[in-house]
């Protein structure tokens, strides 16, 4: 009888312990993994509703939507995140609306010097070109460097020679001329002469991060840099870990903003590292870096980011950022200003 009572007590205790343990289990939110997803940006900066005509705003939104749908169609039909990122960025490079490819800004010498990078989160391989003047689509050159050379970055004439050998389209530097960007350079030069802060300083940049059906992340960025930049200046976009990064274990990132700060803060890698080492969520890590760390240094800009589950974060600390995303079975979402 005494033994039966003891067994009963022990079983009762075990039952209670198991109940307590169950209650202590953290409540896990069921986060559905996106089948595929793509997020893009067309640059961050002084982007306010008053600076836009209705037509220009419409044109920007339509181009961002077209870019998203181009990448989305590739992902939907089982294409790779690398293909989606490259094709999406090519659409934005070919548009004069954004500061990359055809819409690139001018440097202090009145030239367009372009930078781009791409990274594969599956293999951790990357490719980049910097300071190129004749490659029509620098993002494709970056991909060729990644896939068909033993290197990560090629610059200037060397990169151009390689791109031409790889069969990419080479154009005369004048192909990148647009009146709007030329006028922006003249304004910037004037302000420099008057020793006034250059509030018109236009950056821009385009970028994309995609997750494909196989669960692979890729990220890419392409830019003309910053108006009136010194000849030979290279920004963060083609620097792996600064403006561009992808790692299947953490996230893919494409940044835009005052490149020097993005380089010194190793922004894209910092976000990935916070996720990896501190266990932070994508959104917490990205927001901390953009809205706390960079902001405290007066470093203006933003980024688009995606984790391995297709969660998206698009923080920026500037007035606005051209941005948007598209997920499987959803409609494209496109935004420009802060308040929307």
Binding to ligand ASP (CB under 6 A): which residues in 55-84?
none
Q: Is 256 in the site for ligand ASP (CB under 6 A)?
A: yes
Beta carbon nearer to ligand ASP, 8 or 182: 182
SS (H, E, C) 54-65: HHHHHHHHHHHH
Which of 95, 131, 216, 237 is the binder for ligand ASP (CB under 6 A)? 237
Site membership for ligand ASP, residue 203 (CB under 6 A): yes
The residue within the footprint of ligand ASP, chosen from 72, 101, 220, 259 (CB under 6 A), is 259
Is residue 93 at the binding interface for ligand ASP, with CB under 6 A as the rule? Answer: no
Binding-site member from 205, 222, 254, 311 for ligand ASP (CB under 6 A)? 205
List 65, 80, 205, 244, catalytic entry: 205
Number of residues that bind ligand ASP (CB under 6 A): 15
CB of 248 to ligand ASP, least distance (A): 25
Cα-Cα-Cα-Cα torsion 285, 278, 271, 217, nearest 10 degrees, comes to -100
Nearer to ligand ASP, 159 or 226 (CB): 226
113 touches ligand ASP (CB under 6 A)? no
- Residue pair 334/323 in contact by the 8 Å Cβ criterion: yes
Among residues 86, 89, 101, the alpha carbon closest in space to that of 64 is found at: 89
Written as six digits, the tokens of 316 are 């920026």
Task: Name the burial class of residue 164, with classes exposed (0-12), middle (13-18) and buried (19+) by CB atoms within 10 angstroms of its CB.
Answer: middle
Nearest to 229 by CA among 208, 204, 206: 204
DSSP state, residue 175: G
Look up residue 15 and give its DSSP letter: H
Shortest Cβ 198–ligand ASP spacing (Å) = 13
Identified binder of ligand ASP from the candidate list 113, 160, 236, 307, rule CB under 6 A: 236
Q: Does residue 43 belong to the site contacting ligand ASP (CB under 6 A)?
A: yes
| C-beta separation of 123 from 117 below 8 A | no
Burial class (CB in 10 A: 0-12, 13-18, 19+), 228: buried
How many whole angstroms separate alpha carbon 285 and alpha carbon 337? 22
* Nearest distance, CB of residue 14 and ligand ASP, angstroms: 60
d(CA 222, CA 238): 8
Region of residue 72 (left: phi > 0; alpha: psi -120 to 50; beta: else): alpha
Length of the chain: 340
- 257 is an interface residue for ligand ASP by CB under 6 A: yes
Task: Report if residue 235 touches ligand ASP, rule: CB under 6 A.
Answer: yes
205 is catalytic: yes
Q: Does 204 bind ligand ASP (CB under 6 A)?
A: yes
The two structure tokens encoding residue 289:
């870096």
User: Does 254 help bind ligand ASP (rule: CB under 6 A)?
Assistant: no
Which residue from 72, 101, 225, 241 is in contact with ligand ASP, where contact means CB under 6 A?
225
Of 204 and 252, which has the nearer Cβ to ligand ASP? 204
Residues in the site for ligand ASP, rule: CB under 6 A?
A: 43, 45, 203-205, 223, 225-226, 235-237, 243, 256-257, 259
Catalogue the active-site residues: 205
């Amino acid at each position: 009888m005494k033994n039966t009572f003891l067994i009963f007590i022990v079983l009762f205790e075990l039952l209670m312990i198991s109940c307590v343990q169950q209650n202590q289990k953290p409540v896990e939110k069921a986060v559905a993994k996106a089948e595929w997803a793509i997020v893009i940006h067309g640059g961050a900066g002084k982007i306010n509703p008053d600076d836009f005509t209705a037509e220009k705003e419409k044109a920007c939104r339509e181009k961002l939507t077209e870019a998203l749908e181009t990448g989305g169609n590739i992902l939907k039909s089982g294409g790779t995140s690398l293909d989606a990122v490259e094709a999406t960025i090519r659409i934005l490079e070919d548009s004069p609306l954004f500061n990359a490819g055809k819409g690139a800004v001018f440097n202090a010498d009145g030239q367009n010097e372009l930078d781009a990078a791409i990274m594969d989160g599956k293999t951790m391989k990357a490719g980049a070109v910097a300071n190129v003047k004749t490659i029509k689509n620098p993002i494709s050159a970056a991909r060729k460097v990644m896939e068909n050379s033993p290197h990560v970055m090629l610059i200037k004439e060397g990169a151009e020679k390689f791109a031409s050998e790889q069969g990419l389209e080479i154009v005369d530097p004048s192909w990148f001329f647009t009146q709007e960007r030329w006028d922006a350079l003249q304004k910037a030069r004037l302000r420099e002469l008057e020793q006034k802060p250059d509030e018109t300083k236009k950056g821009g940049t385009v970028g994309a991060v995609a997750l494909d059906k196989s669960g692979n992340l890729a990220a890419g960025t392409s830019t003309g840099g910053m108006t009136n930049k010194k000849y030979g200046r290279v920004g963060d976009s083609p620097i792996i870990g600064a403006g561009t990064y992808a790692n299947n274990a953490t996230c893919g990132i494409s940044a835009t903003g005052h490149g020097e700060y993005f380089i010194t803060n190793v922004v894209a890698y910092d976000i990935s590292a916070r996720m990896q080492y501190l266990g932070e969520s994508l959104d917490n890590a990205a927001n901390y870096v953009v809205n706390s760390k960079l902001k405290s240094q007066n470093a203006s800009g933003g980024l688009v980011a995606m984790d391995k589950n297709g969660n998206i974060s698009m923080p920026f600390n500037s007035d606005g950022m051209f941005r948007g995303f598209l997920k499987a079975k959803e409609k494209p979402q496109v935004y420009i200003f802060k308040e929307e």
